[in-house]
Amino acid sequence: MALIERFQKTTDIGYWQGQIPLNYIYTVGRAGEKFFREIINGKIFGAKCEACNITYVPAKIFCEKCFARLEDKYLDVGTKGKVYTFTQCYETYEGIRKEKPSIVTVIQIDGTQGFLVHWLGEIDFEKVSIGMPVEAVFKAKKDREGSILDIKYFKPIK
């Protein structure tokens, strides 16, 4: 290395701090438009490729296996599924310790090959298991705005 003495902190020696705001909008697309308009109605929409016998959730306009167009193959897949995998996360997206951990799950929506990543609520972490049946809990209708957060969380089906 260039210097004999090794500094331990990146700020111990010459640097320039640079930052730039990066703000985007992300177009949800044709399938996303369908998915998020229906989520306002309390519904989850997928798309089925008949040839491959695969139902994607969320809806998409093409089959990634056979590349067929699925734009007229949207379907209501219901709001129930099973816990495919789960974790209890103690860290925020900024890498800071959370005051209260969240239960994050991958839910396989019943009758489909698709997953939704969302929180699990109304249960203690110790009681969660893979394969557990769950259903989506939506925000009050007036508060829905066409976002994945219109689902508050999934909860166990008693």
Is 104 a binder of other proteins (CB under 8 A)? yes
* Cβ-based nearer residue to other proteins, 7 or 140: 7
User: Mapping DSSP to helix (H, G, I), strand (E, B) and coil, where does residue 138 land?
Assistant: strand
Q: What CA–CA distance (Å, rounded) separates 147 from 82? A: 21
Rg (CA), the chain: 21
* Cβ-based nearer residue to other proteins, 10 or 158: 10
Q: What CA–CA distance (Å, rounded) separates 153 from 73? A: 27
Of 71, 91, 122, 143, the residue at the interface with other proteins (CB under 8 A) is: 91
The pairing of beta strand 45-49 with beta strand 54-56: antiparallel
Give the distance from CA 142 to its chain's centroid: 22
Of 9, 100, 142, 158, the residue at the interface with other proteins (CB under 8 A) is: 9
Q: What does each C-alpha distance from 89 to 82, 107, 120, 126, 158 come to in angstroms? A: 19, 16, 12, 13, 24
Contact characters 47-86, other proteins, x per CB under 8 A = ---------xxx-----x-------------------xxx
Of 66, 68, 148, 157, the residue at the interface with other proteins (CB under 8 A) is: 148
Count of residues near other proteins by CB under 8 A: 51
Binding site for other proteins (CB under 8 A): 1-3, 5-13, 15, 17-18, 24, 26, 28, 32, 56-58, 64, 84-95, 102, 104-106, 113-119, 125, 130, 147-149
